[in-house]
Chains A and B, each alone.
Chain A
Amino acid sequence: MPVSDRERELIERLDAVGRSGFAYACQKLRNREDALDAVQAALTSVWRTRQRLDPQRDLRGWFFRILRNRCIDVVRDRARGAHQTLGSDPVTLDDPADGLARDESRDQLRAALATLTEEQREIVLLRDYHGLSYAEIGRALNIPPGTVMSRLSRARSALRERFLAQEGAS
Chain B
Amino acid sequence: MKTCAAIRELLSAYLDGELPQQEAQQVSVHLRRCTECREIMEDFRRMQAQIRDLPQAEPDREQWGNLMNRATMRTSRGLGWILGVGGVALLAGYGLYSFTRDPSVDTLERIGVWAMLGGGVLLFATVLVERLRAHRSDRYKDIEQ
Contacts and interface: CB of A to CB of B under 8 A. Distances in A.
Give the size category of B's interface with A: 35 or more
Interface stretch (B28-36, B71-79, B93-101): B71-79
Contacts of B64: 18-19, 22
Nearest to A52: B143
Given A36-B67, A106-B54, A160 B44 contact: yes
Contacts of B76: 1
A62 B143 CA distance: 7
A109 B57 CA distance: 17
Given A45-B142, A47-B72, A100 B67 contact: no
B59 A36 contact: yes
Given A27-B57, A47-B71, A41 B140 contact: yes
A153 B12 contact: yes
A32 interface: yes
A109 B67 contact: no
Contacts, number: 131
A129 B44 contact: no
A40 interface: yes
Contacts of B77: 1
Contact of B57 (A23, A53, A66, A153): A23
A100 B16 contact: no
B13 A153 contact: yes
Q: Which of B9, B63, B68, B142 has the most CB of A within 10 A?
A: B68
B133 interface: no
A45 B57 contact: no
A82 interface: no
Contact of A156 (B47, B57, B71, B145): B47
Nearest to B52: A128
B55 interface: yes
B54 A44 contact: no
Given A1-B74, A153-B11, A153-B13, A45 B68 contact: no
B88 interface: no
Q: Which of A110, A128, A163 has the most CB of B within 10 A?
A: A128
Nearest to A70: B140
Interface in B40-85: 40, 43-44, 47-48, 50-59, 63-64, 67-68, 70-72, 74-77, 80
Interface in B126-145: 138, 140-143, 145
A49 interface: yes
9 contacts: A18-B68, A23-B58, A35-B57, A36-B67, A66-B143, A109-B47, A109-B50, A149-B18, A160-B43
Closest 9 CB pairs of A and B: A43-B71, A153-B12, A128-B51, A26-B57, A45-B140, A23-B56, A49-B143, A23-B57, A44-B71
Given A40-B70, A131-B52, A153-B10, 14 more contacts: A1-B76, A18-B67, A22-B57, A36-B59, A40-B71, A43-B71, A48-B141, A66-B145, A69-B140, A106-B54, A109-B47, A128-B51, A156-B47, A157-B8
